[in-house]
Amino acid sequence: MKVGLIGLPECGKTTLFNALTRANESIHAYGSHKDEVHLGSVPVPDPRFDFCVEVSHPKKIAPATLDITDGGARIDLEEKREKFGADFFAGVRNMDALALILRAFQSEFLPEPGGGLDPRRDAEKIMGELLLADLMVIEGRLERLEKNRILKRQTPAEAAEEQTLLKIKTHLDSLQPIRTLSLTDDDTKAIKSFAFVSAKPLILVANIDEESISQDSPMLSSLRSFAEDQNLPLVEICAKLEMEVSQMDQEEEKEFLSAMGIEEPARDRLIRIAYAALGYISFFTVGEDEVKAWTIRQGTHAVGAAEKIHTDIARTFIRAEVISFDDFHACGGWDESRSAGKMRLEGKDYIVKDGDIVHIRNSKG
Ligand SMILES: Nc1nc2c(ncn2[C@@H]2O[C@H](COP(=O)(O)OP(=O)(O)OP(=O)(O)O)[C@@H](O)[C@H]2O)c(=O)[nH]1
Ligand SMILES: [Mg+2]
């Protein structure tokens, strides 16, 4: 699962990247280096996973992870002007979700953007650019499809694609992202290769001042109501502080957070929200060797879950032994749940639920 950080210049993308991945990429106070892309992987915090580990004492653990990319779509400050377009987002086309970072912090080092700090305005601007980038791609493609139609060289697949693209174009023309358009499975298949950016799940991230953490401000209220109207998750985070916290060792971090009265670092919340926004769920396999979280789409059948583990296991599938997380938690482990009669035997068509503890019985072992 890949999440791309996007945003206007100097909104704090690299600072946030460091906070999320505990990396230490250099922050350029004035202008950034061209073509610098940072990649990192972060475990998704999940208390259910932690519980599975706690009761199973495995040799190895494998939590769900998110891959984070910083710099996939970044404006080059040396050109001193904002330049967008279809190519601008090329570096984040293969992402599964986008996190839009919005500057909401004052700084004595960084001049305020023209028109002053206004994260809502910036959100609207970049979201508009995402729509435009998709429109440009669609218009280019429609032109070719139309040409083939006029020349009577259009295949039935192309005719269907043209219909789908026209439907999407109408939606974009009314300033709605593709994300909010309901598409048939065929539509989705026809447009998959375009990797439209406004179709991706989007998370808004307000990069706020340390002082704003527990305070309200008109600019944040405006952004909150915008996020609500747009039905988008919004996370407020002080990237600079989070980066400092992320560089501490675990003990130090715990002490610091409890002194601040913070239960969970904001970066953990952001990672969880990003993971949830992707629309995926987790199931767990627990054993002495390994406890592992597996990421699947909602609605995946047991045999699909088996396939995720290994194609061989799916091929030789007999039954899935399943314990719901609540039962697993209440009983305190696999054997305990089983003795309490909480283990169910499910067939291939069972739809795996979020948090299920699963063991696939197959004819090989
Ligand atoms: N006060 C304050 N400064 C911040 C915060 N986040 C980032 N900064 C500062 O803002 C400047 C830009 O931060 P970066 O993380 O480099 O921003 P960026 O979005 O990666 O910038 P580009 O890659 O150049 O587009 C740096 O001087 C940071 O120290 C914050 O939460 N508070
Ligand atoms: Mg940067």
* Ligand 1 atom with least separation from CA of 106: 1
CA angle 17, 253, 276 (to 5 degrees): 50
Separation in Å, CA 77 to CA 6, 39, 82, 159, 193: 15, 21, 8, 42, 31
Residues whose CB is less than 8 angstroms from the CB of residue 128 and which lie 6 or more positions away in sequence, other chains included:
175
The amino acid sitting at 22 is R
Asked if 69 and 4 count as a contact pair (C-beta separation under 8 A), the reply is: yes
- The backbone torsions φ and ψ at residue 125, rounded to the nearest 5 degrees and listed phi first, read -65, -55
Residue 52 CB–ligand 1 contact under 6 Å: no
Q: What percent of the chain has pLDDT over 70?
A: 94
How far is it, in rounded angstroms, from Cα 163 to Cα 151? 17
Segment 101-109 mean pLDDT: 91
| 3-state helix vs strand vs coil in the chain, percent to 5 | 45, 20, 35
Higher pLDDT, 110 or 355: 355
Nearest CA to ligand 1 atom 6: 12
Ligand 2 centre distance from Cα of residue 178 (Å): 28
Which pLDDT score, from 0 to 100, does residue 176 have? Answer: 96
pLDDT-derived band at 353 (thresholds 50, 70, 90) equals very high
Burial of 239: CB neighbours in 10 Å, binned 0-12, 13-18, 19+: buried
DSSP 208-224: E-GGGTT---HHHHHHH
User: Phi then psi for 135, rounded to 5 degrees?
Assistant: -60, -40
What is the Å distance from ligand 2's center to 336 Cα? 50
Q: To which residue do tokens 């999940």 refer?
A: 46
Strand (E) or helix (H) holding 311: helix 311-315
How many angstroms separate the CA atoms of 240 and 248, rounded? 13
On whether the CB atoms of residues 108 and 124 are closer than 8 A, the answer is: no
* pLDDT tens, position by position, 1-53: 899 999 998 899 999 999 999 877 776 544 455 567 899 999 999 999 999 99
Top-confidence residue, 199 or 32: 199
Position 169 confidence tier, pLDDT thresholds 50, 70, 90: very high
Pocket flag, ligand 1, residue 239 (CB < 6 Å)? yes
- Ligand 1 atom nearest 10 alpha carbon: 21
What mean pLDDT is reported for the chain? 90
Which ligand has the nearest atom to the CA of 27? 1
pLDDT at residue 195 tops 80 = yes
Q: Is the pLDDT of residue 205 over 80?
A: yes
Tokens 């009265």 correspond to what residue?
Answer: 261
pLDDT greater at residue 322 or residue 264: 322
Mutate to test the pocket of ligand 1, among 26, 102, 107 (most ligand atoms within 8 A of CB): 107
The residue-averaged pLDDT of 192-203 equals 95
277-325: pLDDT as tens digits? 888 899 999 999 999 999 998 899 999 999 999 999 999 999 999 999 9
Find the mean pLDDT for residues 123-128: 95
State the ligand closest to the CA atom of 237: 1
Q: Is there a contact between 205 and 235 (Cβ–Cβ < 8 Å)?
A: yes
Residues with CB under 5 A from ligand 2 (ion): 13-14, 32
Q: Classify strands 2-7 and 280-286 as parallel, antiparallel or unpaired.
A: unpaired
Mean pLDDT of 59-84: 80
Q: How many CB atoms lie under 10 A from the CB of residue 254?
A: 11
Residue 73 Cα to ligand 2 midpoint, Å, equals: 10
pLDDT of residue 319: 96
Please check whether residue 69 is in contact with residue 2, taking contact to mean a CB–CB distance below 8 angstroms.
yes
Domains (range + CATH), the chain = 2-42+65-115+201-277 (3.40.50.300), 128-198 (1.10.150.300), 299-362 (3.10.20.30)
pLDDT at site 264: 83
Cβ 123 vs Cβ 104: under 8 Å: no
Q: In this predicted model, what pLDDT tens digit does every residue of 135-166 receive, in sequence order? A: 999 999 999 999 999 999 999 999 999 999 99
CA angle 37, 38, 44 (to 5 degrees): 140
In this prediction, residue 22 carries a pLDDT of: 86
- Calculate how far, in angstroms, residue 276's C-alpha sits from the geometric centre of ligand 2: 25
Q: Percent of the chain having pLDDT more than 90?
A: 72
Q: What is the DSSP string of 200-267?
A: S-EEEEEEE-GGGTT---HHHHHHHHHHHHHT--EEEE-HHHHHHHHTS-HHHHHHHHHHHT-SS-HH
Whether 74 lines ligand 1, by a CB cut-off of 6 Å, is yes
